[in-house]
A and B are shown apart, each in its own frame.
Chain A
Amino acid sequence: MVYGSNNMAEKPELMPGTLDLLILRTLKRAPLHGYGIAQSIKRTSDDVLTVEEGSLYPALQRLLLQGWVKAEWKMTETNRRARFYTLTAAGRKQLGIELSKFEQMVAAMGRVLRDAEEAG
């Protein structure tokens, strides 16, 4: 699961499927290993989002099984063997679907929240 960076009690749980979307989006830029994916999400979100390893690796297995990413063992810059994940064509298509679903959900939430504010 992806959490915000505040203290444990305040960490908001994001809706299911958000982690898949973040991983797919991160891999759109370049192939990365698991650690790189977690670091990239943390850095890009200015440390607001932290991906737990306990969620990251099962999510990667799920994406592999769906054929949305592929994995390949390669050497890192420091000459260490690591498993790099790459977005596939199907994954790119899925990213578009997930993004559109996410935007629809955010827009719908925005409408409900604005309506509640106006009523209050």
Chain B
Amino acid sequence: MKGPGYWWRKCRLLFGRARFSSELDEEMAFHREQMAKELQSEGMTPGAARSAAMRQFGNAMRMRERSHEVVGFRAETVAHDLRYGIRQLRKSPGFAGEFHSGATGGGGESGGSAENGVKRACLTGDRVALFDAEGLLGVESGGAGSGHPDSKERNGA
């Protein structure tokens, strides 16, 4: 059984996919640079060292995909994980938190909204408020397992 800490980190990641991807890219670029520096220090020319580091590092795209798989960024699992994660967090008494989907606009595998246009989710105790770009989508409250973010209705819009 995974605790609220796990689901909190998971939801933060799912809402911050764009940031996660750019940080991973920066991290992998740093790794390749360090490999190239090491090869240069062993006598390679800068160009040859860069090429060798790229080869040694392997397929960056595949690597990114594998990291995304670990945190559950595949399209078919994001909505399910978010719903489940938020439900688990609502079970935690006194839990409060907030997720943002980041600055990027819609669409794409690694950017955009977390689920059905949801840009922000605020959790306080057993209540969750969902916001899209225009404002409040709805508030859910009550015990664990009573509905999920999909069942919201727009509030006054």
Docked Cα-Cα span, A67 to B143, in Å, equals 27
Docked Cα-Cα span, A52 to B63, in Å, equals 10
Residues of A within 8 A of B95 (CB): none
Q: A53-B57, A54-B62, A57-B24 are in contact. Are A35 and B34 (CB under 8 A)?
A: yes
Residues of A within 8 A of B13 (CB): 65
Q: A58-B67, A65-B71 are in contact. Are A81 and B31 (CB under 8 A)?
A: no
- A-side interface size class: 20 to 34
| Chain B contacts with A in 63-113, Cβ cutoff 8 A | 63, 66-67, 69-71
A82 interface residue per 8 A CB criterion:
yes
> Interface residue count for B (Cβ, 8 Å)?
25
* Contact assessment for A67 and B9 in the assembled complex, using a CB-CB cutoff below 8 Å: yes
* Contact assessment for B67 and A57 in the assembled complex, using a CB-CB cutoff below 8 Å: yes
| Chain A contacts with B in 48-76, Cβ cutoff 8 A | 52-54, 57-58, 61-62, 64-67, 73
Which DSSP category, helix, strand, loop or mixed, fits chain A's interface?
helix
Q: How far is the CB of B11 from chain A (nearest CB, A)?
A: 11
Q: A34-B27, A80-B30, A81-B26 are in contact. Are A53 and B63 (CB under 8 A)?
A: yes
B28-42 CB mask vs A (1 if < 8 Å, else 0) is 101101110000000
Q: How far is the CB of B21 from chain A (nearest CB, A)?
A: 12
- Known contacts A61-B67, A82-B27, A83-B26; 20 further A-B pairs (Cβ under 8 A): A34-B30, A34-B31, A35-B30, A35-B35, A53-B31, A53-B57, A53-B63, A54-B59, A54-B62, A57-B28, A57-B67, A58-B66, A58-B67, A61-B70, A64-B9, A65-B6, A65-B13, A66-B6, A80-B33, A83-B30
A-B pairs, top 3 by smallest CB distance, nearest first, are A35-B34, A58-B66, A61-B70
